[in-house]
């Protein structure tokens, strides 16, 4: 079974959706580590409740991003993490992690990228008065929400949509979409591993 780490900074409802899908058997993976850059965030409570090891790590305690990410990398390697799932991690991934996990880091973003990248995508959509927005799952590169798109789902805005009501709709879609997309990606990774094994005989 593939070992993953989830990176999150906030409430962690997507973290929870992934755990719930693993527990119900619809997602095959082991969450070997939660990485949280905001010690005290509610997501760490969720990890505790499910006995998932958590690394709470404050970037301000490190002299540079490289050293911060090297600390994370050490834990990831100790736990033999193969794949990184960003779920509300409010920080760009730097070269230290990208070098090791390139093509094996994904993110979920609450808009139809390339529309509304960066912070407060939901507020941006409301301000732009769009009628359709949605959710994007994409690979992570060095840019801000710029990596190759894997899957998208739409959400329709009503006449009097508010940030709160759109947030709720988006979350509902995310909690379905992310575990489904992850299962597809993990199937592909397992197939690749099997092929590699077969070719070494």
Q: Point out the residues that are catalytic.
A: 109
Residue 14 or 21 having the CB closest to ligand GRF: 14
Look at strands 105-109 and 54-56 and give their pairing. Answer: unpaired
* 25-84: contacts with ligand GRF (CB under 6 A): none
Q: Which residues pair with 34 in a beta bridge?
A: 6, 54
The interface region with ligand GRF, picked from 13-21, 29-37, 92-100, 186-194 by CB under 6 A, is: 13-21
Q: 107-146 mask for ligand GRF (x: CB under 6 A)?
A: -xxx------------------------------------
Segment contacting ligand GRF by CB under 6 A, of 4-12, 112-120, 123-131, 183-191? 4-12
| Pure H helices in the chain | 13-24, 42-49, 65-78, 95-101, 121-128, 163-200
- Token readout for 164 is 């709160």
**Minimum CB distance to ligand GRF, residue 135 (Å):** 7
Please report how close the Cβ of residue 19 comes to ligand GRF at its closest, in angstroms: 11
- What whole-number distance in Å separates Cα of residue 146 and Cα of residue 19? 27
Among residues 14, 21, 44, 96, the one that binds ligand GRF under rule CB under 6 A: 14
User: CA–CA separation, 8 vs 55, rounded Å?
Assistant: 11
Q: How many CB atoms lie within 10 A of CB 152?
A: 16
| Closest among 44, 33, 34 to 10, alpha carbons compared | 44
* Residue 10 binds ligand GRF (CB under 6 A): yes
Q: Which position among 6, 33, 55, 87 is part of the footprint of ligand GRF (CB under 6 A)?
A: 87
């Amino acid at each position: 079974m593939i070992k993953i780490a989830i990176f999150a900074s906030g409430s962690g409802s997507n973290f929870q959706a992934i755990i719930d899908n693993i527990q119900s058997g619809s997602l095959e993976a082991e969450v070997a580590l939660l990485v949280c850059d905001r010690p005290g965030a509610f997501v760490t409570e969720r990890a505790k409740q499910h006995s998932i090891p958590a690394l709470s790590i404050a970037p301000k305690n490190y002299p540079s991003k490289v050293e911060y990410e090297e600390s994370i990398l050490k834990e990831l390697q100790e736990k033999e993490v193969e794949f990184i799932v960003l779920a509300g991690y409010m920080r760009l991934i730097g070269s230290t992690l990208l070098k090791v996990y390139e093509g094996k880091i994904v993110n979920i973003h609450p808009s139809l990228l390339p529309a509304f990248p960066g912070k407060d995508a939901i507020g941006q959509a409301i301000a732009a008065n769009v009628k359709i927005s949605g959710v994007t799952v994409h690979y992570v590169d060095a840019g801000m929400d710029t990596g190759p798109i894997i899957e998208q789902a739409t959400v329709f805005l009503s006449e009097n949509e508010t940030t709160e009501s759109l947030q709720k709709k988006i979350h509902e879609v995310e909690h379905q979409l992310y575990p489904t997309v992850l299962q597809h990606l993990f199937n592909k990774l397992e197939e690749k591993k099997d092929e590699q094994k077969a070719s070494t005989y």
